[in-house]
Amino acid sequence: MKTFVFIFFLILLASALFSGVLLLIRRRFGQRLKDQEYIHSSIFDFFTTLYAFFIGFAIVTLWSTFLTAKADVNREATTIISAYYASRNLPNSEPFRQALKNYVKTVVEDEWPQMGQDSMSEAASRRFDDVLAKFSAISGDSDKLGAIYNSLTEVNRLRLSRSVMMKGNLYPTVWIILIFGFGAMVFGFVLLNRHQTALSFIFELIVFFMVLSCLLFIWDINTPFSGFITVKPDTFQLIYQKMVRLP
């Protein structure tokens, strides 16, 4: 909580700085600005509406991706524990279950911190390969073996999904529009609102605060496994505790 208070305090300072710069520009070049060609407010309104659309599009898209990443992590963990339970009564399955434990432990302790730096764990990859190797040594009920195989296939697919999502989910073109649009918004404020008043300063501060907060939010959830708002490995920790208690 303290982190977010500090971050938004910095955003407030940045907003005040932008508004203050606009104030100084108007005071320094006030007469020149009055002599410039007038920009009709309807043009600026159209631009701000278009810019708001892209901000909203980015937030909705990335938040949906974030929720998908969170759901996939939960599904991955529950699929692992299902495979663990299904193997308990099969011959020669104890090494397989131990390999699953080792894999989950490595994911929590090694892979998740590395995902915060946009990379997957080689150790976790080797652990999963060991899980597959131990699975091939299990014999018994073919239906259970088929169910476990399907579970391992799903786990592998969901792990690959994690590796794709962790590196960013917003097209570079949208980033260009968002950054360029912010600069254009500042430029529009300079030419459209040429007479500096206390009310205009407060309004511009609020606008800058909202836009910068939205841009920070977009930047943060662009990578679901790094930043301030992240997908946590809580479900993996929970199933590992269950595995430790079970034979």
Rounded Cα distance between 229 and 220, Å, is 7
What sign does the dihedral 160-64-80-144 (CA atoms) show? Answer: negative
Rounded Cα distance between 147 and 166, Å, is 29
- The pLDDT value given to residue 4: 77
Cα-based torsion angle of the residue sequence 70, 71, 73, 79 in order, rounded to the nearest 10 degrees = 170
- The pLDDT value given to residue 235: 95
- The pLDDT value given to residue 79: 96
- The pLDDT value given to residue 41: 65
- The token pair at 183 is 């600069």
Q: Which domains does the chain have, with CATH numbers?
A: 2-37+171-221 (no CATH), 62-168+230-245 (1.20.120)
- The pLDDT value given to residue 196: 64
The single-letter DSSP state of residue 91 is T
Phi, psi of 118 (to 5 degrees): 65, 40
- The pLDDT value given to residue 45: 77
In this structure, are residues 81 and 207 in contact, taking their beta carbons and an 8 Å threshold? no
- The pLDDT value given to residue 81: 95
In this structure, are residues 99 and 130 in contact, taking their beta carbons and an 8 Å threshold? yes
Q: Structure pTM?
A: 0.84
- The pLDDT value given to residue 178: 92
In this structure, are residues 216 and 55 in contact, taking their beta carbons and an 8 Å threshold? no
Residue among 78, 71, 112, 84 nearest 238 (CA): 78
- The pLDDT value given to residue 151: 94
Cα separations in angstroms, 85 against 36, 43, 93, 154, 177:
75, 63, 11, 16, 50
- pLDDT tens across the length of the chain (247 residues): 677 788 888 989 988 888 887 777 766 665 555 555 555 667 777 888 889 999 999 999 999 999 999 999 999 999 999 999 999 888 888 999 999 999 999 999 999 999 988 899 999 999 999 999 999 888 887 888 999 999 999 999 999 999 999 888 888 888 999 999 888 887 777 766 656 667 777 888 888 899 999 999 999 999 999 988 899 999 999 999 999 987 6
- The pLDDT value given to residue 122: 94
- The pLDDT value given to residue 219: 93
Give the chain's length: 247
- The pLDDT value given to residue 233: 94
- The pLDDT value given to residue 20: 81
